[in-house]
A = this chain, B = another copy of it.
Amino acid sequence: MRIGELAKRAGTTTRALRFYESEGLLEAQRTSNGYREYDEHDLRLVREIQALQSVGLSLQDTRPFVACLRAGHESGDSCPDSREVYRRRLAEVDACLERLTTVREFLLARLAFQDPCVVPEEIQCTS
């Protein structure tokens, strides 16, 4: 399939797919006229990238997973580097949960006109 169809099936845009390629995450065969040609394997790869992004991983973080799939593994998360990324993200999420719980208590306390509780230093909590 060509890039437009892949984009449609993956629910994204051609621009995003070309961007992934420029980042070395997605490779495409080329037909004689220069068009990119993809198969089901590529669709799966894009879906993997999307799934990883949806749990808050950056595009850079998806590299080990892509490499793992390229190396022939059944799933992208069976390689050590991928699992390390998972562990790192898990630690981030845990820190975020703790932080947000504190924030929540602060808000509840203020709404209840109680003493303000102390909110500790900042942590990045994204997506």
Could you tell me which A residues sit within 8 Å of B by CB distance? 51, 54-56, 77-78, 83, 86-87, 89-90, 93-94, 96-97, 99-101, 103-104, 106-108, 110-111, 113, 116, 119, 121-127
Contacts and interface: CB of A to CB of B under 8 A. Distances in A.
B55 A119 contact: yes
Contact of A100 (B93, B106, B107, B111): B93
A90 B111 contact: yes
A103 B51 contact: no
Q: How many monomers of this chain does the complex have?
A: 2
B127 A104 contact: no
B86 A110 contact: yes
A109 to B, nearest CB: 10
A104 B90 contact: yes
A107 B93 contact: yes
A80 to B, nearest CB: 12
